[in-house]
Amino acid sequence: MRDFLLGVSYLPRGFRLLWAPGLRRYVAAPIAINVAVFALLFWLAGAQFQSLLDWLLPDPDSFSGESIWQQVLRFLSTAAYWLLWPLFVLIGAVVMFYTFTLIANLLGSPFNGALAARVERLVTGAPPPEQDLSLAAEAWLAVIGEARKYLYFLKLALPLLILFLIPGINLIASLLWALFGAWAIALEYLDYPMGNHGYRFHDERRLLARRRPLALGFGAAVLAMTLIPGLNLLAMPTGVIAATLLWIEQRPKA
């Protein structure tokens, strides 16, 4: 429990460093990109939804007569627009809420390694060792690394999802799913500072398994932040900063 609570404590520390001088551009850039991407997707979806409404529903202004039937059709057509658009916005907000962190991690992965390096330099006074790679190569490897992590997470997630379908066992499936979520997030964010020191994903899993309660406490705290609307926009950079602090202070000594 001590290690679990220690892991939790790194999140507020990371949040306090969020807008520290030298880190702001690494925090603001991926957030701006993600907001722009989601705004574009929402606009495109809205345009397609409007086209669908135009095809399904008659234009209310086309009912220019004064018969009772025409008035009823005008009312129903107008009501449908007023009911369906709020429903579309609500569904869009829910989809954005549940997918923002996943998409943000994928799009922000080229920035997160640099953010972790800047945090390490700010805290310790020394940057992580150079990897001798171009910026383009680092960005490509970051995206490939994200894809590999998601494949690993998928292999763990599928059996857990099946447990929800088994009567009796599904009672503990929610707890197992929460533990899986905390473990996955810990691996996700600690990959950046550890990757800056040359660790590969399988080595990271092995090292973190030695102090699993510490990793689970950190992951659970970040997971809770992603579930809070508004704060979930800052969960990714906060998680990266907190993970870097955790790695600096808790990494195995040579």
pTM passes above 0.75: no
Burial of residue 61 (CB within 10 Å: 0-12, 13-18, 19+) is exposed
pLDDT of residue 175: 83
Distance CA 148, CA 169 (A): 29
217 has pLDDT over 80: yes
At 244, the amino acid letter reads T
Rounded mean pLDDT, 9-28: 87
Query: Which positions ≥6 away from 211 have C-beta within 8 Å?
Result: 3, 250
Are 191 and 149 in contact by the 8 Å Cβ rule? The answer is yes
The segment with the largest mean pLDDT, out of 72-86, 100-114, 180-194, is 180-194
Q: How confident is the model at residue 61 (pLDDT cuts 50, 70, 90)?
A: low
Whether the predicted pLDDT of 88 surpasses 80: no
> Average pLDDT in the 78-107 region?
69
88: its two tokens? 């579309």
User: Does 155 have pLDDT greater than 60?
Assistant: yes
Separate counts of helices (H) and strands (E) for the chain: 8, 0
* pLDDT at position 166: 77
Residue 254 has pLDDT above 50, yes or no: no
Contact (Cβ atoms closer than 8 angstroms) between residue 30 and residue 236: yes
